[in-house]
Amino acid sequence: MIVSGVRSSWETFETKSYTINEVSKHNTKDNLWTYYKGKVYNITKFVDKHPGGYIILRAGGKNLEEVWKENNMGWHDSNYLVQNTLKDYQIGILNIETFTLPNESI
């Protein structure tokens, strides 16, 4: 599925939609994808640049937000540099049909 959009007032782009299953297959140092807040990222080229070393491999094919929480790195979620860096690696969005919203307790 291709989704069209506008990145800025002068630039248009087409974004591919991926399932969680597709993303999960990209989980090696030479082919590393992750997803975060509905967006899909190919972070393969960032692996060797990552300041924390190869801990980034834990994110392969997974929800980046959950990986950060599991590894006590939740501060990444609000860090400007992290968020800005991620933008450079976005390759698409998650197919909305492949993930569910968390249940809210009453």
**Per-residue model confidence as pLDDT tens digits over 47-78:** 999 988 889 999 999 999 999 999 999 899 89
Q: Coil, helix or strand for 51?
A: coil
Per-position b or e across 4-16, b if 16+ CB within 10 A of its CB: eeeeeeeeeeebe
Phi, psi torsion values for 79, nearest 5 degrees: -90, 120
Q: Coil, helix or strand for 62?
A: coil
> Rounded distance, CA 81 to CA 73, Å?
14
pTM for the whole thing?
Answer: 0.78
Residue 103's pLDDT band, with cuts at 50, 70 and 90, is: low
